Each structure stands twice: as structure tokens, then as C-alpha cells.
A and B are shown apart, each in its own frame.
Chain A
Amino acid sequence: MRVRPSDHPAPFAPLDVIAAPTDPADERIEVGVLIVGAGPAGLACAIRLGQLLEESPETAERLGEVPVAVVEKGKSPGSHLLSGAVVNPRALRRLFKGRLTMKDLPSYGEVHGEAVYLLTKGAALRIPPPPTMRNHGNWVLSVSQLARFLAEQAEAGGAAVLPETDAQKLLVSDGRVQGIRTGDKGRGRDGQELGTFEPGSDIVARVTVLAEGTQGHLTGAALARFGLEGGQPQIWALGVKEVWKVAKPLRHIVHTMGWPLRKRAKYGEFGGSFIYPMGSDLVSLGFVAGLEYRDVEFSVHDVLQEFKTHRLVRKILRDGERVAWGAKTITEGGFHALPRRFHAPGLLLAGESAGLVNVPTLKGIHYAIESGIMAAEAAFRSLQRGESPGRAGALGSYDEELRASYVVGDLHQVRNMRQVFDKGFFLGGALASAMTVTKGNLPPKEFTIEPNAQRSLIRTDRAASYPAADGKLTFDKLSSVFLSGNRTRDDQPNHIRIQRRVPRDLADLWVNMCPAHVYEAGATDGDGMVHVEVNPSNCVQCGAISAKAGRLTPPEGGSGPEYTLT
């Protein structure tokens, strides 16, 4: 019988992380607007609020000592951010209109040209870029660097940016979101209080904006608590990326499709690669594959290593040196998986955690920023009027604006494109082209999609084609985790929830899927089950485990990778 990950669900329920405030009222930290996540969405929201409050001091006054606060679980803003990234500048321009231009932002300049290749093992066929993949006018940047810049802007605008602060619980009482509870620090492996123990705090706010990015810990809980789940389940892809210092500058951006992925539909291998120039001496390259894949030996990290052995890639990386590595999941459900509403009493959802990613165009950062701006404006309108944002529907204008904007409009146009790739690479590609031409209206049937965790597992000899690590072009997972700057204290409680005794196939799926070597499978028992060992301190918080029946929760604040270039 085929194993399905969803038959072995993690011992975790989203509602477990919903709680009422517990700190005595006078010990709670009170802020005006609380933003969870210092990524493009959260920081754009903080910056826009700063602009609006500057023009309306009386509203700022009403919000108390800390009108805007941003909590971030990483060591610094940007520590946990990883993306391509070729960014549509539209939303950044709006955010900084009359203040800054794109030239003032940390970037690697505009896209000068692009190439799309269909790869086979031995060859690369250059094809005309599909309309969704034309990047003229877009900018190359590092989202990790962008966040550091945006955080400075937000602080200059009066926001309190609080890194190393993990949001563990969503505080809900009287039917409305009250804020969050931050995680304890200084607990030992078994949860015991160490000498340095510092308990978490309740942070209460007039409006809470969840901008947690992929696999949002509290977003999932909020969707469940307020019945906001979309019509289709959310799905994810996993991207693994490296930054290389290269001898010869790359002039244009490159995307590839095909090899090393297998094109038959039964494997469920959907994805591709990107190679972007970062100035004259750096190149960012990565491989993204949908987590609907089925082969227990599939490993995106190793597929990336395999990809680098292609003639086309070798040429770009020749005489180069790898300087950064990281991994992260990407929300891929698109329009059909969007939440029913982007708000609840006292709550706004923004950015990738709200599902605002356009897979066919490989874009999401400008949607994150745009939604952050709109969330700020909606929160501000409500606060300026002096009404309670906790009243049902008080923040509803955000929903209307977002749905009327290009953000949801774009997603609607490409709404079925991602799903058709379930039919295999070529048929999917043909259908996708047809959809582009007809702005999403053909074929008319609305596709349904299976959650990643429900895909039954198969085992082929997938790993046989992965190259051995040579430490120069190809690397193993451990040296890669090292390069991620991961400094997680290894005696803190395990933050990963999975079933510890599972069928061999599922254990192997986790072992191979995880790019950071977190899981180890023991020997098979008589009944075909194995014990899974977890090394949580290796975790780079990519979130893949949550798509395959496990559950990532935030570790102690300040843990995890320290990306600076990704």
C-alpha cells in the first residue's frame, strides 16, 4: 500500500497557538499597530504607517508610546529572507514616492536581458521567454539586503523593529485579535528553565498585521480560528539557492526548465531554475521544485547540485567560489488558495503568508510590499476615525482594495496555470500558453489541487543521478548549512513537530527533502516502521516539513540562518 504523508500528521493543531492574554494587564507591552515579520510586507506596512502618522500627529498620539512595532524571529531583519530575486519595482516606487528612487535602494540594477532555456542532460535549447517570464524593467536585488534597508527606513519613521523575537501565540479574546505572545528564551532541551531563562511577553495592539511570509505560524492559526481558509488548499514549492563569486560577469538573467527534473506526470516534478547576475562579480542561482513531488529520494538541494554540473551552468560558475547558501519554501497555491478574507477583527493578513505569490511570473515581493502599504492605509483609516479596529468589518476596506488592485487581479489571470502542470510538463506548458493568451479564461474548467501532503509516495532510483560533493562545484548539505550562518543553540527545545515512528518511505522522504540534514532515519522495525531522529539546530526554517505532514514552529528568537546575501 502506498504511503501518504497526511496519514501521519504532526502532533499539532493550529488552534493550539491561539490563546487569551495571560500577563497581568499592567505588564503587557502595549503598541498601536503590531506587525509580525520584518520582510518586505511587514516593513512596507511599518514604513507606510510612519508616513501616515507623521502627517497625522493626533492619531500617532492616540497610539501611545510605541505606535508601530515589528517583531522578527531572525537575528536581524533579513536573516531569514531568501528569494531570487528579480523584483517588479512598482510597489517600491509607490512606497517611496517623492522620497526615494530605485537608485537609492540596495540593488544590482535593472534587468538588461534575459534568456530562457529548455534543458536536457546534454543540451540547452534557448526558447523565447513566455509572456509571464519577461522581466524588462524589473530590478535584481537581494531580499535579505532589502529588508535591512527597509528596517532602517522603518526605524527612521518611528517604528520599533524588534529582531530575535518569535511570535509563538496569537492572542485572541472577545472575538478579536489582541496581539501576540512572544516565545520564552533560555529553555533547555526538555523545556526546563535554564539560568538565563527569560519568559515571553504579551504584546497587545489595536491592529495586528501578520506578514510572516511562507508557512506563517500564526497565519495558519488565524485562518483556522476565523474560518478564512480559501477554496483550495495551499501548496508550496521548495527553493534552494546559492550565491557565487564569479570570475566573469553574467550579463543577463537566465531561467531554465526541464532537466534535471523528470517530465512524466507521475513523478510530480514541477519547477525550474534561475540564474541572476548580482553586479559584476556575483551570481545568484537556485532551483525551485513543487512539493507535490512523490519520489522519496527527491532532494532539491541535490537537484541544484546536479543542475550545476550542466555545461550551461558550469560555464557561468567557472573559476568561481560559492559564498552563500540557503533554502526556503514558496507559497504556490495562487488565486484559488487565497484566504476567503484578508482580515478579521483586529487582524490583517499581508504578503506571502496571505498567499500573494504569482508562480508563473515568479513574483511576489511587489505584491508583499503593495499589500503591506494597503494594510497600513486600512489600519490607519480605522485608527484615525478613532473607531475600534476590533469591530467586525472595521478593516474590511483592506479586502476591497486588495481585491480591486493589480495584486489579486494578476493572480486571477494566472489562476489555473500552476495547476495544469499536474498533467506533466508538455501538456501543462501548452495549456499554460493558452491561458496566457486568453488572460486565464481558457481552458474554462477550474482545476482542483491536492495538498502536498496527500500525494502518495513512490520510490525510484532518483538519488543515483546526484553528483558526489567535490567541495568546489558541488556541496553536501552539512557544509551548506554551515555557510548559511546558522547559529542555533543546540540545547534548546525541539521546534519541529513530526510523528517519530513512521513508515520507511515517509522517513526517507523527510531525510532527502530537508536541505539542512535535520532528519535521520533509524533501522526498520519488524512492522516496516522506523524511528526518526531530529537535529533541530541544523534547521534553516525553510518550512518544507510543514508541507509534508510535519510542522515547523518558530524556535527561540535569534535562532536559525543568518542570510545576508540571499
Chain B
Amino acid sequence: MLSKAASLGAGDVTGVIVGSGVEGLAAQAATYGAATVYVADDSSLEAPLPQPRIDAVAQLVADKGIETVLFGQSILAADIASGLAARLDAGLNWQLTDLTSDGGNLIGRQSALGDSVLVDVGWTSTPRIGLFRAGAFDPTEQPAAGTVETFEVQLQEHSLAAEMVEQAHAEESGPSIEDADVIVAGGRGLGEPEKFALVEDLARALGGAVAATRAVVDAGWYPYSAQVGQTGKSVSPALYVACGISGAIQHKVGMQSSKTIVAINKDPNAPIFEFADLGVVGDLHQILPKLTAALQARKS
């Protein structure tokens, strides 16, 4: 986001880092194009809760006359951006994939209606707030490092009401799906947790990693670390094989940038067939073993 903002040439870019024990990140942020990086480092900001962060960013926007606030989309960022919009009476655009400057006027590009249409969106006032899809831009390091300043946050009463009882520690295991070139993913269509073995066998034969949908992770069939989707990981492998996955929007946002998608599902009406490069209507329990065997035979 910093690199993109810097490239627009639409004024100075300010980085904001809010948290506890985050000062180390500031120097790093400064090398991606931020003229100034503001840091609020406070133990009350340790838990990843949105509302104290709304206070922090709102205060900075007001103090420094910031015109545009950009976020990389995440669960936390979406809540901050939305709350901030209400606090500052500012416009919010989301699901953005690009941002351009037209004589100082910023135009966002939004991917809408299940990616069936691209919408150019604008803001009619400042401050403007934008949420960008993960991986929308590539970072570029800048030679001139900006300065780092700290600031104190005045927290509002309602912002302190929610408290973190237990913070998530996702257990990482197996090869990371984010780095895999090939991903074989399983969904509820597998029928039962034991059937994940079919997916694992195929992943092994393809030399890839195993992923899962939220539905099966929530059902306890597979660990959270393998979850792809809105609240899981976003992946873009060369090949994504979706097994028994309907293609619900929450899953789609996490895997739609895969280069090639192969989907196997019993239900010919499954939405995944609308964006799969190869859609196979059939029974997983018959097709997967055959496919694994065929790939193994090919290798040997």
C-alpha cells in the first residue's frame, strides 16, 4: 500500500503503525515510500481490536490533515475502515484492486458482483478511505528513508469496552499453502473427515499442499492453518484443484487469483463451475483415486 501510495504522486505519504511493541516495524515501513511513519506504541493497543485503532487513526487524520487513508483488506482493517468512515464522515470504498490519480482526484477500481464487473469508484469529499484486496500491489523499496514519529492516542470509552480474552495462535503444520505452486483443496463435498486422505494423496501425487474450506475447518475436519478464503489465507498457485467445494464467495475470494482452477463436484449447479478452467461433474470418491493413480503411473 505504501509503495502504491507513493507512486501516485498525489502528496506526501504517511505510514501509520498502531500496536504494542511495534516500533521495529516503523523503520521497515519507511523504506517503502512513506515520508513519515507515525507510531502509536501502547500496551492498550496490543490486542488486535478495531475500535482503539479507529481512535488512533482518526486522531492522526485530524491532526495532520490527512486526505486519504488506505488499508490492505483484512478482518481487522475492514472494521477499522468502516468505523473510521462513520467517525470522520468519510466515504469508504472496498474490494479495490487498483487506484489511480486523475489530476489529484483519486479513482478506485472495484471488483464487484462476484468479479463479473469492474466499477470505477470515486470519493466526493475528503478524507477518503479505501480497502484494497490482498496482493493488489507489489512493494517496491525506496532509497530515501522517511522519518519516524511517535504519537499518543486518546482512547474513547466505548473503544475500550471490548477486551481480548484469548488471542489466536494458529498452529502451523505441513507445507505452507501460501508458497505452494499446486494446491489441492477439500470441501464439505468429501462427505466425512476421513475422506481428506483422498485429497492428501492427490496433493502428494501432484507435489502440492492441502487446503480446506471454512466449512470443513469449522467442522473440525482439518486444521485452521489450511483454510483458504475470506477469513483464511489468500493463495494464487499455478494450479488449484477444488474437490467437493461449491465455490461460495467466502472461499472464492481466497483462491480466485489461482492461474488454473480444476473443480470436481457432484452438483452441476455448484457456483465453482462458473470460474473453474476445467469443471468435472462427478463423484469424488471415484475420480480422486483414479486421478492419483494415473499421476503416479505417469511419474514412474
Residues of A within 8 A of B (CB): 478, 481-482, 486-487, 490, 517, 535, 537-538
C-alpha spacing A482/B267, complex, angstroms? 10
Q: Report the bound CA distance from A517 to B281 in whole Å.
A: 11
**Could you list 6 examples of A-B contacts with CB < 8 Å?**
A481-B268, A482-B268, A482-B269, A482-B273, A490-B267, A537-B269
Kindly identify, within residues 137 to 173 of chain B, every residue whose CB is under 8 Å from any CB belonging to chain A.
Answer: none
Q: Which residues from A are CB-within-8-Å of B273?
A: 482
Closest residue of chain A to B266, judged by CB? Answer: A490
The interface residues of chain B lying within 8 Å CB-to-CB of A537 are 267, 269
Would you list the 3 A-B pairs with minimal beta carbon distance, nearest first? A478-B268, A490-B267, A482-B269
- Beyond contacts A482-B269, A490-B267, A517-B268: 7 other A-B pairs, Cβ-Cβ < 8 A, are A478-B268, A478-B281, A482-B273, A486-B269, A487-B269, A490-B266, A538-B269
B97 to chain A, nearest CB (A): 28
- Chain B residue contacts of A490, Cβ below 8 A: 266-267
- C-alpha gap A538/B269 in the complex (Å): 8
Which single residue of chain B is at the shortest CB-CB distance from A480? B268
Kindly list chain B residues whose C-beta atoms are within 8 Å of the C-beta of A486: 269
Q: How far is the CB of A484 from chain B (nearest CB, A)?
A: 9
For the complex, what is the distance from the CA of A487 to the CA of B246, rounded to whole Å? 12
Residue numbers in A under 8 Å from B281 (CB-CB): 478
Per-residue CB contact flags for chain B residues 249-292 toward chain A (1 = under 8 Å, else 0) read 00000000000000000111100010000000100000000000
Q: Mark B159-191, 1 if CB is under 8 A from A, else 0.
A: 000000000000000000000000000000000
Chain B residues lying within 8 Å of A538, measured Cβ to Cβ, are 268-269
Q: Considering the complex, give the chain B residue whose CB is closest to the CB of A516.
A: B268
Chain B residues 218-240 with CB under 8 Å of chain A are none
Residue of B nearest to A478 (CB): B268
Using Cβ atoms and an 8 Å threshold, which residues of chain B touch A517? 268
Q: How large is the interface on B (under 10, 10 to 19, 20 to 34, 35 or more residues)?
A: under 10
Beta-carbon nearest neighbor of B265 in chain A: A490
Contacts of B268 in A (CB 8 A): 478, 481-482, 517, 538
Min CB gap B225→A, angstroms = 27
Task: Name the residue of chain B whose CB is nearest to the CB of A488.
Answer: B269
Q: How far is the CA of A487 from the CA of B270 in the complex (A)?
A: 9
A126 to chain B, nearest CB (A): 40
A502 CB → nearest B CB, Å: 21
Contacts from B to A (Cβ < 8 Å)? 266-269, 273, 281
Q: Report the separation of the CA atoms of residues A487 and B266 in the bound assembly, to the nearest whole angstrom.
A: 13
User: Of all chain A residues, which has the CB nearest B188?
Assistant: A491
- Residues of chain A lying within 8 A (CB to CB) of residue B267: 490, 537
With both chains docked as a complex, state the minimum distance between the C-beta of A276 and any C-beta of chain B, in angstroms: 27
Q: Give Cα A478–Cα B281 distance, bound, in whole angstroms.
A: 9
Task: Output the nearest chain A residue to B246 by Cβ-Cβ distance.
Answer: A490
Docked CA distance A331–B266 (Å): 32
Give A280 to B268 CA distance when docked, in angstroms. Answer: 33
Residues of A within 8 A of B266 (CB): 490, 535
Residues of A within 8 A of B269 (CB): 481-482, 486-487, 537-538
Give chain B residues whose Cβ lies under 8 Å from the Cβ of A487.
269
Q: Which of A478, A490, A517, A537 is the most central at the interface, judged by chain B CB atoms within 10 Å of its CB?
A: A490
Minimum distance in angstroms from B270 CB to a CB of chain A: 9
Q: With CB as the reference atom, state the residue of chain B lying closest to A489.
A: B267
What residue in chain B is nearest A477 (Cβ atoms)?
A: B268
Question: A482 contacts which chain B residues (CB < 8 A)?
Answer: 268-269, 273
| Separation of A512 and B267 alpha carbons in the complex (Å) | 19
Docked pose: A538 CA to B270 CA in angstroms: 11
The CA-CA distance from A535 to B281 in the complex, in Å, is: 11
Nearest Cβ on chain A to B217's Cβ, whole angstroms: 19
How far, in Å, is B213 (CB) from chain A's closest CB? Answer: 16
Chain A: CB-nearest residue to B279:
A478
Q: How far is the CB of A503 from chain B (nearest CB, A)?
A: 24
Give Cα A490–Cα B273 distance, bound, in whole angstroms.
16
Chain B contacts for A481, CB-based, 8 A: 268-269
Minimum C-beta distance from A192 to chain B (A)? 14
Bound Cα distance from A481 to B268, whole angstroms: 8
Q: Smallest CB–CB gap between A495 and chain B, Å?
A: 16
Q: In the assembled complex, how far is the CB of residue A539 from the closest CB belonging to chain B, in whole angstroms?
A: 12
How far, in Å, is A489 (CB) from chain B's closest CB?
10
Which residue of B266, B269, B273 has the most chain A CB atoms within 10 A of its CB atom?
Answer: B269
CA of A481 to CA of B273 in the docked complex: distance in angstroms? 13
CA distance A298 to B266 in the complex (A): 25
Chain A nearest CB, measured from B278 CB (Å): 14
B272–chain A nearest beta-carbon distance, Å = 12
A65 to B268, CA, bound (A): 43
Could you tell me the distance between the alpha carbons of A49 and B38 in the complex, rounded to whole angstroms? 73
| B152, chain A: closest CB distance, angstroms | 50
Q: Which residue of B lies closest to A484 (CB)?
A: B269
Closest Cβ of chain B to A487, distance in Å, is: 7
Report the minimum CB–CB distance from B250 to chain A (whole Å).
18
Question: Could you tell me the distance between the alpha carbons of A537 and B269 in the complex, rounded to whole angstroms?
Answer: 9
Complex Cα gap A444–B268 (Å) = 51
CA distance A478 to B265 in the complex (A): 13
Residue on B nearest A487 in the bound complex, by CB: B269
Closest CB in chain B relative to A132 CB, distance in Å: 39
Chain B: minimal CB distance from A471 (Å)? 13
Tell me the bound Cα distance from A490 to B265 in angstroms: 11
- Tell me the smallest distance from the CB of B285 to a CB of chain A, in Å: 13
A517 to B268, CA, bound (A): 10
Complex CA gap A482/B273 in Å reads 10
Which of chain A's residues has its CB closest to B282's CB?
A: A520
In the complex formed, the residue of B with least CB distance to A517 is B268
**Shortest CB–CB separation between residue B233 and chain A, in angstroms?**
27
Max chain A Cβ within 10 angstroms of own Cβ: one of B267, B268, B273: B268
Distance of A375 from chain B, by nearest CB (Å): 36
Query: CA A487 – CA B281 in complex, angstroms?
Result: 16
Q: How far is the CB of B92 from chain A (nearest CB, A)?
A: 32
Cβ-closest chain A residue relative to B268: A478
**CA–CA, A482 and B281, complex, Å:** 12
Q: How far is the CA of A490 from the CA of B281 in the complex (A)?
A: 13
Q: Please report the C-alpha to C-alpha distance between residue A478 and residue B280 in the assembled complex, in whole angstroms.
A: 11
Bound state CA distance, A500 and B166, in angstroms? 55
CA–CA, A535 to B282, complex, Å? 10
A203–chain B nearest beta-carbon distance, Å: 31
Give bound CA distance, A481 to B270, whole Å: 11
Of chain A, the residue at the smallest CB distance from B191 is A491
Bound complex: CA of A486 vs CA of B267, how far in Å? Answer: 10
Minimum distance in angstroms from A517 CB to a CB of chain B: 7
- Expressed in whole angstroms, the Cα–Cα distance for A486 and B266 within the complex equals 14
Closest to B281 in A: A478
Distance of A523 Cα from B270 Cα, bound (Å): 27
Instruction: Report Cα–Cα, A69/B235, bound state, in Å.
Output: 52
Q: Cα distance A537–B265 when bound, in Å?
A: 13
A136 to B266: give the CA distance in the assembly, Å.
47
Say how far A515's CB is from chain B's closest CB, in angstroms: 13
In the complex, what residues of B have CB within 8 A of residue A535's CB? 266
A324 CB → nearest B CB, Å: 15
- Name the distance in Å between B249's Cβ and chain A's nearest Cβ: 15
Nearest chain B CB to A541's CB is how many angstroms away?
15
Task: Looking at the assembled complex, report how far the CB atom of A424 sits from the nearest CB atom of chain B, in whole angstroms.
Answer: 38
Q: CA separation between A487 and B273, bound complex, in Å?
A: 14
Q: Distance in Å from the Cβ of A195 to the closest Cβ of chain B?
A: 12
Min CB distance B214 to A, Å, is 18
A206 CB to closest chain B CB (Å) equals: 41
B290–chain A nearest beta-carbon distance, Å? 16
| Chain B nearest Cβ from A520, distance in angstroms | 10
Bound complex: CA of A110 vs CA of B266, how far in Å? 44
**A537 vs B267: C-alpha distance when bound (angstroms):** 8
Complex Cα distance, B267 from A490, in Å, reads: 7
